[in-house]
Structure 1
Amino acid sequence: MKTTLLSILLISACLNTYQAKAQLKSGFHYKILKQPKHGSSLALKYATVTKPKTGATTRTDEDRVLHSKKLRADVKPQGDTLMIDFWGITSNPDPAQNCATCVKAADLLGDHPDATGTKTYYYYTTVGKRKQLNTAVSYVSIPYAATEIGAATVPFKYRFGNTSKIVSNQLLSDISAGLYIGRKWGRTRFYADKERNHNSAAFTIGFMLSPTIISIDSTNTRNEVKTKSDEMGITTALATMYSYRDISFGLFFGADHPVTGRSGRWVYANKPWIGFGLGYKLSMLGGGKD
């Protein structure tokens, strides 16, 4: 699925961030909650699949509950089944030590071969399939957290002057682009038809760093510089973003810091600015899917 940003109110390329595709345990995880947002418990199952060297394969399922408010896990859809790979836990808080149906540190996972065959253990839950037209489509909503590393662009900047009006406020439409790293929190809705799976509302906070060109002349240096020149600077910014499905809104708080030559005489040196943008992902363009 190719991504295109719709220009809205002269805002272009405003939120060009790319989430790291590798959902590594260090950067991406879901949170399996004891009490999900919709108020009902997640129906966890613990499966034991027995594959003897001779004879038929059998499977037994046991109900499981969490001993803590939440546990981190990787979630992989397989049809209407969500395979849940919990991250490692080293201890069970009381009173879970004696809880027969709790998820515990000593639970077996994966393949365990022996002389008679192989036993495979895993956790899962299922998403209900709609069986009648008048039945609402079922889904499981699971919160996640992810680390994002990529590029971010700020199309609009509003610079603050001072109360004496010696330095006036300034609105710029210059696009600033730079390296972005942030942390994103949101929710994923899983359906029985995995083609319908999608992220819903999400909030991101991060940090942006980029080189910038500072053009100085007599008008923006209080006449201290007579000839125009382009100097190098560094832009730093705090980025906050809110997205819902395909719509994203970003708000950036930053400053431009002079580095070379006479850029230190620039009247907006190290002064704060606010940047903003609005983006839309047109999934119907390009026609393909990831």
Structure 2
Amino acid sequence: MRTKIVLLFLLGWAGMFFGQENFNVKYRIYDKLGEYSLKKEVIKKYDSLSREQQKKIRDQYKIGDKLLVEDKIIINKNEVTTTREIIIDENFYKTLSYSETEEVKLCSVKYGNVKVEKNKLLVNLLLDGCKDHPVYFYELKNRKSPHLSFTSVTVSAITIPLKYRFKGNNGLGDEFSTEINGNLFVGYTYGKTTFFYQEEMETKINTWKITGGLLFGASSVKLDKSNSFIKPNQDLNIIEYVDATKGLASIAFGLTYSYNNINIGAFLGFDYAIGQYADLWKYNKKPWLGVGVGYKLFNF
């Protein structure tokens, strides 16, 4: 039995393949994420600034001073830079805008999508009714690893090359079967993504997730003396077995764990033979266990 289990593991490692799509991915967004605060950039016109901020600008750009201003224009589909001189007056201040960062206060946990851009983890919240949201961000810190949890609906194309069928009544023995099969796995996913930021280097993103769901599949089985009952015959003296290939419809409950491109899955299911003499297959409607480990080489 121990040898069979080892064989099951090795073949599962070699032959469980995933083609996976995630839908409706939603990260949980908090205004406070450990030592990180959710922030936003606010653009203010000169007239809305405080007196102190206005004075700071006036001290830097004084009325009567001359400035060289660069303008970029398109001429015959080519970008051309031109320079002009202006004299600072009151109208000049009205054209200025001021950018500052503010912390965001959320009344509750929100959901959204995220993206890394330089030293920021950008957050685009899902629309809440008719309310629109600006793009928020967490400012990443060197050699720190903030993490966000998420949920999604996962649809995977999976093949399970090896199944273990359990022992049953009336001397039904256990069986390891290898077969070509195609399966669709639909489930609900919970996971967590870690963003490891290093200044002047690429941010490393690691994700683990657990998915539970249902598997639907199709395959075939060759009926013979070893895996089927005696074929019904009016002449009781004649012992005859079915020699035919039958289609199988599969349904299973599955649980998979993924870390980046490494996938581990376990499935408990049932196969239903289709067609004439389907009930003669000894393992018809009997439970099986499929286990596998795979490495996803491609993203689908």
Q: TM-score, normalised by structure 1?
A: 0.71
Matching of residues 2-151 of structure 1 within 5 Å: 9-11=10-12, 12-20=14-22, 27-33=24-30, 36=33, 40=34, 42-50=36-44, 55-68=95-108, 70-90=109-129, 109=133, 121-129=134-142, 137-151=143-157
The C-alpha deviation readout for 1:106-135, integer Å capped at 9, x for no partner, is 6x63xxxxxxxxxxx432111112xxxxxx
Paired residue type of 1:263: A
**Cross-structure match for 1:118:** none
Structure 1: segments with no counterpart, 5+ residues: 1-7, 91-104, 110-120, 130-136, 284-288
Q: TM-score, normalised by structure 2?
A: 0.69
The structure number with the bigger radius of gyration is 2
**Which whole-Å CA distance do the structure 1 matches of 2:105 and 2:35 have between them?**
8
The C-alpha deviation readout for 1:42-66, integer Å capped at 9, x for no partner, is 4011322358997344212221233
Q: Secondary structure at the match of 1:67?
A: coil
Which structure has the highest helix share of the two? 2
Counterpart contact for 1:48–1:122, Cα < 8 Å? no
Distance apart, 1:278 and its partner CA? 1.3
Q: Secondary structure at the match of 2:135?
A: strand
User: Does the alignment pair 1:196 with 2:200?
Assistant: no
**Which whole-Å CA distance do the structure 2 matches of 1:42 and 1:177 have between them?**
45
**Which whole-Å CA distance do the structure 2 matches of 1:127 and 1:202 have between them?**
23
Q: Secondary structure at the match of 1:16?
A: strand
Structure 2: segments with no counterpart, 5+ residues: 1-8, 47-91, 232-239
Change in 2 beyond 3 A, CA 1:185/1:30: same
The C-alpha deviation readout for 1:14-40, integer Å capped at 9, x for no partner, is 1413124xxx6xx1111114665xxx2
Paired residue type of 1:122: V
Q: Which moved more, 1:218-227 or 1:197-206?
A: 218-227
Q: Report the count of equivalent residues.
A: 236
Equivalent residue in structure 2 for 1:233, among 248, 258, 261 = 248
**Which whole-Å CA distance do the structure 2 matches of 1:124 and 1:18 have between them?**
28
